[in-house]
Amino acid sequence: MASTNFIDHVRLCSRSGAGGAGSVHFRREKHVPKGGPDGGNGGRGGHIIVRGNSQLWTLLHLRYRKHVIAGNGGNGEGGNRSGAEGEDIILEVPLGTIVKDAETGDAKLEITKHGEEIILTPGGRGGLGNSHFKTAINQTPRYAQPGEEGIEEWVVFELKLLADVGLVGFPNAGKSTLLSVLSAAKPEIGDYPFTTITPNLGVIEYRDFKSFVMADIPGIIEGAAEGKGLGTRFLRHIERNSILLFLIPADTVDVKKEYEILLGELKRYNPELLDKKRLLAISKTDLLDDELIEEFKEELPEDVQTFFISSLAHKGLMELKDVLWKALNEDN
């Protein structure tokens, strides 16, 4: 997933098709001089439909589609023939996509399953032909319904990554390195802050051909919930993770303080994030010997299960995967 191609926010105009007009027509045949009304109905206008696609990971393909317009329904015809339905437009999106009203911010729909289809903007109904208005009193109605107009609205597509485990930590905590070691993902890695500027997903292979998905979220800094650093741009991706794995490097001056800062930023962004299962991994422990690790344990937060790992030395990784897998499946 190239960083320049990761698009998780798109704004576009969605316009459904107008319904076709009903027909005003009377049956006229050689031996049926007064056959009565037989005007057909107008066709339905085209819908704008959103469909989930598990093979998509970004909204890049929608970035330059500023206007999406469905087809209009055809007009009804004589012989009670209905007009053709307008062409539907189907927009395929990654799982985890939410579509909101651009003006109010209210959610209109959410896609979480492959192949799931939801109508975003319904097409206008076709008008009824004059055959529907025949009565005992008015046997030759000379009017029919017009079709309904289509709907035009501005909407926002917002992607929240669907992952089992989300990595949470300050920039340069070792999140990208851990993901690259545990999976086949190849995120950019460097010894400077904000190496990761877009989320990365990796499939973690587990025992007996099982697997789960881990997301590397760009680093959080103090004040991120107010827009500092990369701000809240990527905090929303954490909302969909079942487990939050906090990563704090062993060379941190105050582990408890850093952990509390991370918790505080999540709470300010969305207090419900604190209801998720949390684990704490101390990374880069290849810098510590056994004696230092024992001293380190005295400084750890008490309300979270903690692990000592080293991505470079492959230390503690299998134990970490065991605990993550158990936590993911303990409610099943």
Tell me the per-residue pLDDT of 41-74, one tens digit each, with 9 for 90 and over: 999 999 999 999 988 878 889 988 899 999 999 9
Over 50: is that where the pLDDT of 228 sits? no
Q: What percent of the chain has pLDDT over 90?
A: 44
Query: Across residues 226-240, what is the average pLDDT?
Result: 60
Domain 1-159: top CATH class? mainly beta
Angstrom distance (rounded) from CA 112 to CA 50: 11
Task: Supply the pLDDT for residue 157.
Answer: 96
Q: Could you tell me the pLDDT band of residue 25, with boundaries at 50, 70 and 90?
A: very high
Task: Supply the pLDDT for residue 294.
Answer: 83
Task: Supply the pLDDT for residue 186.
Answer: 61
**Domain boundaries, given as residue ranges, for the chain:** 1-159, 165-329
Q: Over the stretch 164-177, which tens digit does the pLDDT of each residue have?
A: 898 888 887 788 88
Pick from 18-32, 87-101, 265-279 the range whose average pLDDT is largest. Answer: 87-101
Over 80: is that where the pLDDT of 219 sits? no
Predicted TM-score of the model (pTM): 0.70
Q: Could you tell me the pLDDT band of residue 234, with boundaries at 50, 70 and 90?
A: low
Task: Supply the pLDDT for residue 109.
Answer: 95
Q: Average model confidence (pLDDT) for the chain?
A: 85
Question: CATH classification of 165-329 is 1.20.58.2240, yes or no?
Answer: no
Task: Supply the pLDDT for residue 191.
Answer: 44
Q: Over the stretch 71-128, which tens digit does the pLDDT of each residue have?
A: 999 999 999 999 999 999 999 998 889 999 999 999 999 999 999 999 999 999 999 9
Residue by residue, what is the 3-state secondary structure of the chain?
Answer: CCHHHCCCEEEEEEECCCCCCCCCCECCECCECCCCECCCCCCCCCCEEEEECCCCCCCHHHCCCCEEECCCCCCCECCCECCCCCCCEEEEECCCEEEEECCCCCEEEEECCCCCEEEEECCCCCCCCHHHHCCCCCCCCCCCCCCCCCCEEEEEEEECCCCCEEEECCCCCCHHHHHHHHCCCCCCCCCCCCCCCCCEEEEEECHHHCEEEEEECCCCCCCHHHCCCCHHHCHHHHHHCCEEEEEEECCCCCHHHHHHHHHHHHHHHCHHHHHCEEEEEEECHHHCCHHHHHHHHCCCCCCCEEEECECCCCECHHHHHHHHHHHHHCCC
